[in-house]
């Protein structure tokens, strides 16, 4: 059993291309399973996928761009952060039932306990978008 009292951290950089989404979903799912957080696995994978899709669609302008992904579990909280090169902050939209896109942040808000944005790491560019969920010890 993995104790959530001990901080867990996983980081990776993913090319900012839609073809990398499936690999990112598998990687996030594998780490959550390893950390014995299967109770939140589906919600975290879906919310991460939505943030990644937003970053690729709205923040990536160069084929060489990458999206930084951080999974951090400490105490009773799991936080997922995606960093992209654009300084433009995401804004939730109101969309009609016929719209084919524009629901990503609404989905994240429905799945997560909280979400928001932070400036880039010192010396970096762009922004970081994150969400968090409460987790509990397996058992």
Give 92-134 pLDDT, tens digit per residue.
766 666 665 656 788 899 999 999 999 998 998 899 999 999 9
pLDDT at 2: 47
Could you read off the pLDDT of 94-104 as tens digits, one per residue? 666 666 565 67
pLDDT at 106: 87
Whole-angstrom Cα distance, residue 139 to residue 133?
Answer: 18
The domains of the chain, with CATH numbers, are 8-134 (3.30.565.10)
pLDDT at 97: 65
**pTM (2 decimals)?**
0.88
Helix H or strand E encompassing 65:
none
pLDDT at 61: 75
pLDDT at 1: 42
Could you read off the pLDDT of 11-70 as tens digits, one per residue? 999 999 999 999 999 999 999 999 999 999 999 999 999 999 999 988 877 878 999 999
Token couple for 37 = 């957080």
């Amino acid at each position: 059993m993995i104790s959530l009292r001990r901080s867990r951290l996983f980081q990776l950089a993913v090319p900012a291309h839609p073809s990398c989404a499936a690999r990112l979903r598998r990687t996030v799912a594998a780490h959550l399973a390893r950390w014995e957080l299967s109770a939140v696995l589906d919600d975290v994978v879906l919310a991460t996928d939505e943030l990644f899709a937003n970053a690729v669609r709205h923040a990536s302008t160069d084929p060489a761009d990458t999206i930084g992904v951080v999974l951090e579990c400490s105490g009773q909280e799991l936080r997922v952060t995606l960093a992209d090169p654009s300084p433009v902050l995401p804004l939730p939209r109101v969309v009609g039932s016929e719209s084919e896109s524009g629901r990503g942040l609404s989905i994240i808000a429905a799945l997560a306990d909280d979400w928001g944005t932070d400036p880039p790491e010192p010396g970096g560019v762009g922004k970081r978008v994150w969400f968090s969920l409460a987790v509990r010890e397996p058992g």
